[in-house]
Each structure stands twice: as structure tokens, then as C-alpha cells.
Amino acid sequence: MKVLVTGGAGFIGSHVCDALIRNGHDVHVLDDLSGGFKEQVPTEATLHVMDIRDDEVAEVWQEHRFEVLFHLAAQMDVRRSVADPRFDADVNVGGFLNLMEAGRANGLKKVIFSSTGGAIYGEPDFVPQTEAHALQPLSPYGITKLCTEKYLFFYENTHGIEYVALRYGNVYGPRQNPHGEAGVVAIFCERMLDGTQPVVNGDGKQTRDYVHVKDVVAANLAALRYQGCGLFNVGTSVETDVVTLFEILRDELAPQMPTQHGPGKPGEQRRSVLSFEHTRDELGWSPTVDVKLGLQETARWFREKRQHH
């Protein structure tokens, strides 16, 4: 199939591109390289360097008539969304609508959207959080992801474009960018390798559902095969607190380093953990990477990358 991957030069997107190419698809990448890297785009893919908000998006679509859109490009920094909600909405809603309008006019059949499970549900009323959990996003970032899901429903209902929205937990793994995005695993790894002390916010007992990028890629491929529309959590149902996360990475990279606490971040979510039962039943997807082993392997990847540079 002819597919367009927005954000395909980024952390998750580049892994998705690799998998699509292995599966024989004709892959095009649309990325402004603000957070991604050209060298992460597979050589077999065609790269279009542009912002998803650009008018040129329509021309690219007219020329290539992509059947499937994997939409991963986003303003994904939660703190930036809080500081500048207009910019966040401009990219995450305006950019998405720019893509959809171009696609609708030029043969788009299906969208696989990288949504968020971490930011869309808010503080849990029950755990693990299912897709039926109340939607109470605490940040503009979470709000724009929810807004996009609603637009997908509109495009399906009005224009017959199928969609699958994948609500990710906290994705980690090789290629995660430690600069400027909300990847605590990557940030901790880089600081430990630099010999600078990472700081744990507050008591460090806030939890997240850490899901390995390999499992996220598998969920994207399952979504491509899926006949139908829907919203699906992509998580492990395992809660890991920040202190535990720090200790796993430290034991691998900087065994002598103490745990240092700083002030808590105001408004930071306390818990987040996702049920994957619905995803397993509908998409046939379950997580395969054990959190501790996955974190250790990721830490080693950062160390090896450092040694090769």
C-alpha cells in the first residue's frame, strides 16, 4: 500500500517506517525535522521535508495519492502545551486538519492516529484505565489529542475514511530523543551517561505505564490490518513509579549515583496505567516486552550510541 507517515523521522515514526518497509509497503515520510533526524528515515522511504501545516501538503497528496495515513507528527511536549496552548492547537489540530482535507480530496482511505492514553484520561477513577474511562485531559496536549479523535469520527461518519486511534502509554526505547520531548527514560539515560545527577520530581511515587516502542510498532501494524474503526489503548497494565525507573536505569549506567529528589511539578498527574484487554480482543495485540528488561536494554542502547560517537 502507499502510505504516508507524518513524523516518520522521529522516535516512534522511524520505527514504524522500518516495519512498514519490511512488510513491502511504499512509504513516504512527511517531517519538518524539528524533532526528528534525516538519518533515522529508512533509505527506501521517500522523505518530504515540510511542516504538516504547510500548503504544499495538498500538492504532495495530489501527486502521490496515499491510501493510508499514519499520523505521528505532533507538538508533543506537555509543558510547552501548557505554556503556549495556541501553538499546541495550531500544530496538533490545525496541522491534522490540513492533512485530512488534502487526503479526503485525494484518495485517503484510512488513518492510524498516535493518540495518548497517558494524557487523555486524567487522574484515574479506576485502574487499569479502560477505553471507557472518563476523558479528563489535564493539559492542552491531551485536549488536542482528544479533539483529533473526535475529528476522526467526523471524517469516518461524513466521508467514509476509516480510522484507528491508538492511545499510547509512556513510550520508550532506542532512538528516543532526550532533547526537548517528554521522554523521561531518554533524559535519565543521557544525564547518567554525562555524569550529571537526574532529579526525581517530588517523592517519585508518581506512576506511568511504560510501553516499549517495539510493542507500539506491532500495535500500528495490527491497526493497519484491522477491518473497522475504534479507539485502543496501547499499554502494559503495569505501573512503574519514577524512583523504580531511576533505579533500574542507574543500576545499568551509573551504579554509584544517589537518588536525588527535587520539588514536585504542579499539576503533574499522579497515576496512569492502561488496560489492553480491548486491544487484545479486537486487534490481537498484547505487549511482549517486560518493563524491567526493556528499560535495561534501552539503557544499554544509549550507552552504545555514546561509545560510537
The reported pLDDT for the residue numbered 206 is 95
- Strand 207-208 and strand 240-241: the pairing is antiparallel
Strand partners, 31: 49
Question: Which domains does the chain show, CATH number per domain?
Answer: 2-171+213-234 (3.40.50.720), 173-208+238-273+289-308 (3.90.25.10)
* Residue 133 pLDDT: 98
pLDDT of residue 308: 87
150-158 contact pairs (CB < 8 A, 24+)? 151/93, 151/96, 151/97, 151/100, 152/111, 152/113, 152/229, 155/100, 155/104, 155/111, 156/229
Q: What's the pLDDT score for residue 15?
A: 98
Assess whether pLDDT exceeds 90 at residue 138: no
Quick one: how far is CA 259 from the chain centroid?
28
What is the pLDDT at residue 181? 52
pLDDT in tens, 152-200: 999 999 999 999 999 999 999 999 988 755 689 999 999 999 999 999 9
pLDDT at 146 over 70: yes
- What is the distance between the alpha carbons of residues 236 and 297, in angstroms, rounded to a whole number? 17
CA distance 274 to 170: 10
Q: In sequence order, which residues have a C-beta less than 8 Å from that of residue 27 and are 6 or more positions away?
A: 3, 5, 8, 17, 20, 21, 42, 44, 45, 46
Cα(155)–Cα(188) distance, integer angstroms: 40
Q: Which three cell numbers stand for residue 141?
A: 496536549
Q: Average pLDDT, whole number, for the chain?
A: 96
Percent of the chain with pLDDT over 90: 92
Omega of the bond leading into 255 within 30 degrees of 0 (cis): no
Q: What's the whole-number mean pLDDT along residues 64-92?
A: 94
Whether pLDDT at 23 is above 90: yes
Question: Three cell numbers at 100?
Answer: 485530512
Distance from C-alpha of 10 to C-alpha of 36, rounded to nearest angstrom: 4
In this structure, of 32-41, 45-54, 237-246, 267-276, the range with the lowest mean pLDDT score is 267-276
Contact 19, 43 (CB under 8 A): no
* Cα 230 from Cα 255, distance rounded (Å): 44
Specify the pLDDT at position 79: 81
Q: Give the residue-averaged pLDDT of 51-73.
A: 98
Listed residue (266, 37, 76) closest to 180, CA to CA: 76
pLDDT of residue 182: 61
Strand partners, 200: 261
Given a cut of 70, is residue 7 above it in pLDDT? yes
Strand (E) or helix (H) holding 19? helix 11-22
DSSP string of 238-291, one letter each residue: --EEHHHHHHHHHHHH-TTPPPEEEPPPTT--S---B--HHHHHHH-----S-H
What was the pLDDT predicted at 179? Answer: 72
What does the pLDDT read at residue 180?
56
The structure's pTM equals: 0.96
For residues 182 and 119, is the Cβ–Cβ distance under 8 A? no
pLDDT band at 77, cuts 50/70/90? confident
Dist CA 74 CA 6 (whole Å): 9
- Counting every residue written for the chain, the total comes to 309
Residues involved in catalysis: 141
Instruction: Indicate if the pLDDT at residue 293 is higher than 60.
Output: yes
What are the two backbone dihedrals, phi and then psi, of residue 17, each rounded to the nearest 5 degrees? Answer: -60, -45
In this prediction, residue 299 carries a pLDDT of 98
**If DSSP codes are grouped into helix, strand and coil, which group holds residue 236?**
coil
pLDDT of residue 241: 97
Identity of the amino acid at 309: H
Query: Do 287 and 212 form a contact (C-beta atoms < 8 A)?
Result: yes
Instruction: Render pLDDT for 191-232 as a digit per residue (tens, 0 to 9).
Output: 999 999 999 999 999 999 999 999 999 999 999 999 999 999
Return the closest-CA partner of residue 272 out of 116, 76, 123, 115.
Answer: 123
Instruction: Using pLDDT thresholds of 50, 70 and 90, give the confidence band for residue 268.
Output: confident
